[in-house]
Each structure stands twice: as C-alpha cells, then as structure tokens.
Amino acid sequence: MGVSARSAETSSIDSGAGPQGLPKPVQDVNQPMCPSRLVLEHVTSRWGVLVLAALLERSYRFSELRRTIGGVSEKMLAQTLQTLERDGFVHRDAKPVIPPRVDYSLTPLGTEAAEQVWALARWTERQVDVVQAAREAYDEARA
C-alpha cells in the first residue's frame, strides 16, 4: 500500500471529533511522535506476541502462562502482562480466594490484536527455511 493510500485509509478510520469537539488527530505510525508506535511496540514485542498468541487459546494463570511461553522470565512476563493490561489488551481477573487466584484473558481488543500478530508469527514459522537460505546466500556472497 502506498503512502497516499495508507494516509487516506487512516484518515477515514480516524475521522471524528476528539476531546472538546476538536478534530481527532490522524495517527501515522511513520511520524516519530505518533502514539501508535508505542502500541505497535507493545503488541509486537518478543513476549507481547507470545502472550497474545497463548491467550488466544484460553485464559491462563500466571504460572501456566509462563510454562506455555518457554524462556520468559517471571519479571518479563509480569511486565508484559501489566503493559498489555494497561493498553486494554489483557484482562486480569483476581479472585478473592485463598490461595489467591489470578487469571489472564484477552479483551475483545486483545483478541483482535492477537489474531493479527499470530498470523504474522505463523507466517514466520512457514518461512524459516526461505529466510535461512537467504542468509546463507548473503553470507556466501560476502565471504
């Protein structure tokens, strides 16, 4: 999609009134101060993609989610979940029982984002051999 087509698409999506009836600003991820860059960073981060993908299947408790997503530290998982919760992608359900039970699930917005990044993740899985061959050809040409 060309820049003008993307701008037109973005303009139609983001049209409408913002706070105090002012025109709503058009989001353009290519602009350095666009807030959508931070959202994009959160959903496409290494752990963000994997958390969203796992939660597409079902809700998880913290320890279950950590086991499902191999290699993530407790600290990184906690930070990722908190960031995704703050952005409105993840719902944290703390039950008042002993011992405490906390379940994580996707919000409708989170489900939409998860479907998008999971499609990209699955595509990368299918293309690993092609990418590896390209890397080898690149390295051989420069050796």
Tens digit of each residue's pLDDT (9 = 90 or more) over 91-135: 999 999 988 899 999 999 999 999 999 999 999 999 999 999 999
Tens digit of each residue's pLDDT (9 = 90 or more) over 27-72: 888 888 888 888 999 999 999 999 999 999 999 999 999 999 999 9
| Amino acid code (one letter) for 65 | L
Q: What is the pTM of this model?
A: 0.76
- Please report which helix (H) or strand (E) contains residue 66, including its range: helix 62-68
Report the distance separating Cα 31 and Cα 75, nearest Å: 31
CA atoms within 13 A of residue 3's CA, in its CB half-sphere: 4
Find all residues with CB under 8 Å of 7, minimum gap 6, and list them. 26, 28
